[in-house]
Amino acid sequence: MCRDEISIDYLGYVYDCDFNQIMNLLAKTPDGENLTVAKLLEAGSLDLINKVQTVAYCYGCTAGTGSNCGGALV
């Protein structure tokens, strides 16, 4: 999910994926500010997201190739 989708909450805050949204782990700008839809529209680019916020549950997801997130068991 974090490879080709983002999640946005009702206040306009942006998350790298829905897991991060549930955990309230917001996407950050390169300056470390919380990313919002308004900031993305102002920049006109998704390049504001230059680092995905990762935590321990990413090992169970691995962005589509793990055991969750639409991935497959291998």
Under the rule (CB under 6 A), what is the footprint of ligand SF4? 1-2, 16-17, 19-20, 52, 54, 57-58, 61-63, 69
Choose between 29 and 62: whose C-beta lies nearer to ligand SF4.
62
* In the complex, minimum distance from the CB of residue 10 to ligand SF4, in angstroms, rounded to a whole number: 20
* Token pair of 36 as six digits: 């919002």
What are the beta bridge partners of residue 8?
Answer: 14
Give the shortest CB-41-to-ligand SF4 separation in angstroms: 23
In degrees and rounded to multiples of 5, residue 28 shows phi and psi of: -120, 150
